[in-house]
Amino acid sequence: MSESNPWAWYSDPEVLRLERDRIFRSAWHYVGHAGRLPEGPSYFACETGGIPVVVTRDVDGRLRAFLNVCRHRGAGVASGEGRRETLQCPYHAWTYGLDGRLRSAPRSAEDDLDEVALVPLRLESWGQFLFVNADPDAPWLELELKLPFDPSELVFSERVDYSLAANWKVAVENYLECYHCPVAHPGFSRLVDVDPDAYALVGANDVWSQYGRAREGDRRCVFHLVWPGLKINVYPGFANLSIGPVWPESPERTVGFLDYFFGADVDARTAQELIEFDDQVGREDTALVESVQRGVRSGLVEHGRLLPESERLIAGFQRKVAEALT
């Protein structure tokens, strides 16, 4: 067995400050799907990785992303989503076009407008899935994930938000192993063969993957974790995919969401049954990770232990964290 990273890293505010600066500020973050921006001028606002974001589709159809921060006094210029041709700050009515340029500012000289614009963010897409990055020089992910279907053919169903009373790394590490599945997830373990010979763990290029199959038939499942905390899940059976990030709200609280997509031929009842099944697995994991957080918070044990095979994806993730912090 190998030692885990120090447990102090899972509750220390200074460690979280470093993680936000060295990990999340330069990472690619999933913000939503292109269907949230219908044809014509439209926008949606969100927060991801601690960064307020607004994504727009201009009259020319071009997609853009900006820091959702007014260049005047720092208020958010947009909330929610919808169709409109401008974004107006609710503080002093500074108004921006969907291309980010300042169009009007009460009591200011007209020749001052050209000097001001919303801060642009990198925006890239993987099929219908949209990602942003605050680092203009960050290389694109070039995701080449093994999925049993073409994700571009999926239809959005719903978004589920959640929060955990645990450090974000505890949540990610729980996701990266199924060693706990026979004990903690009886329903999942009845559906998926979680025996080590049937459940493959593969880690490479900042993507850690778990490949499994249903206990009955030849239906496949896959669970990808894309650095630092993006989950992409496919359950056995009909075409389904959920995607969403986890990120730290505080040293001991994690927030995130999952967007659920299904094949066009999957009826609403069947889709809802899978979402409810996944929610049950999630509630089981919530109890586990919150228990872990109470344990690491005690400060009485410096390190955990990792099994060389069953927890090797965790080891890879922890090495990546340690490289960023040290």
Cis check for the bond before 245: say yes or no (omega within 30 of 0): no
Count CA atoms within 13 Å of residue 314 on its CB side. Answer: 24
| Residue 65 Cα distances to 22, 40, 101, 209, 318, angstroms | 21, 16, 12, 29, 31
**Which amino acid, one-letter code, is at 294?**
R
Output the pLDDT for position 193.
97
Q: Which two tokens stand for residue 22?
A: 């060295």
Cα–Cα distance, 151 to 9 (Å, whole number):
36
Output the pLDDT for position 183.
97
Which among 66, 69, 46, 48 is positioned nearest to 56, based on CA atoms? 66
Position 296 pLDDT exceeds 90: yes
Cα–Cα distance, 34 to 21 (Å, whole number):
28
The pLDDT-based confidence of 104 (bands split at 50, 70, 90) is very high
Beta bridge partners of 225: 208, 231
Output the pLDDT for position 146.
81
CB distance 41 to 87 below 8 Å? no
Beta bridge partners of 243: 232, 259
CB distance 186 to 276 below 8 Å? no
Q: Rounded mean pLDDT of 225-254? A: 97
Cα–Cα distance, 2 to 312 (Å, whole number):
10
Cα-only R_g, the chain:
21
Q: What percent of the chain has pLDDT over 90?
A: 87
Cα–Cα distance, 109 to 252 (Å, whole number):
47
Cα–Cα distance, 53 to 64 (Å, whole number):
10
Output the pLDDT for position 40.
87
Specify the CATH number for 2-22+146-325; select among 1.20.210.10, 3.90.380.10, 3.30.70.920, 3.90.1300.10: 3.90.380.10
Q: Rounded mean pLDDT of 78-88? A: 96
Output the pLDDT for position 279.
98
Output the pLDDT for position 299.
83
pLDDT in tens, 126-185: 999 999 999 999 999 878 788 888 888 999 999 999 999 999 999 999 999 999 999 999
Q: Rounded mean pLDDT of 79-105? A: 96
Position 111 pLDDT exceeds 80: no
pLDDT in tens, 181-208: 999 999 999 999 999 999 999 998 899 9
The pLDDT-based confidence of 301 (bands split at 50, 70, 90) is confident
Position 122 pLDDT exceeds 90: yes
Cα–Cα distance, 207 to 317 (Å, whole number):
9
Output the pLDDT for position 309.
95
CATH 3.90.380.10 domain span(s) along the chain = 2-22+146-325
Output the pLDDT for position 271.
98
Cα–Cα distance, 131 to 41 (Å, whole number):
19
Output the pLDDT for position 50.
85
Cα–Cα distance, 107 to 227 (Å, whole number):
46
| Residue 215 Cα distances to 87, 130, 194, 198, 219, angstroms | 52, 34, 9, 10, 8
| SS3 annotation, 14-33 | HHHHHHHHHHHCCCCEEEEE
**Which amino acid, one-letter code, is at 186?**
P
Query: 136 or 289: whose pLDDT is higher?
Result: 289
Output the pLDDT for position 227.
96
pLDDT in tens, 33-48: 999 998 889 999 999 8
Output the pLDDT for position 38.
86
Q: Which of 12-21, 224-233, 297-306 has the lowest mean pLDDT?
A: 297-306
Q: Which CATH architecture has domain 29-133?
A: 3-layer Sandwich (2.102)
Q: Which of 126-130, 208-212, 256-260, 297-301 has the lowest mean pLDDT?
A: 297-301
Position 112 pLDDT exceeds 90: no
Cis check for the bond before 228: say yes or no (omega within 30 of 0): yes
**For the chain, percent helix, then strand, then coil, each to nearest 5?**
30, 35, 40
pTM, two decimals, is: 0.94
CATH 2.102.10.10 domain span(s) along the chain = 29-133
Tokens 């169903």 locate to 157
- End-to-end CA separation in angstroms for the chain: 23
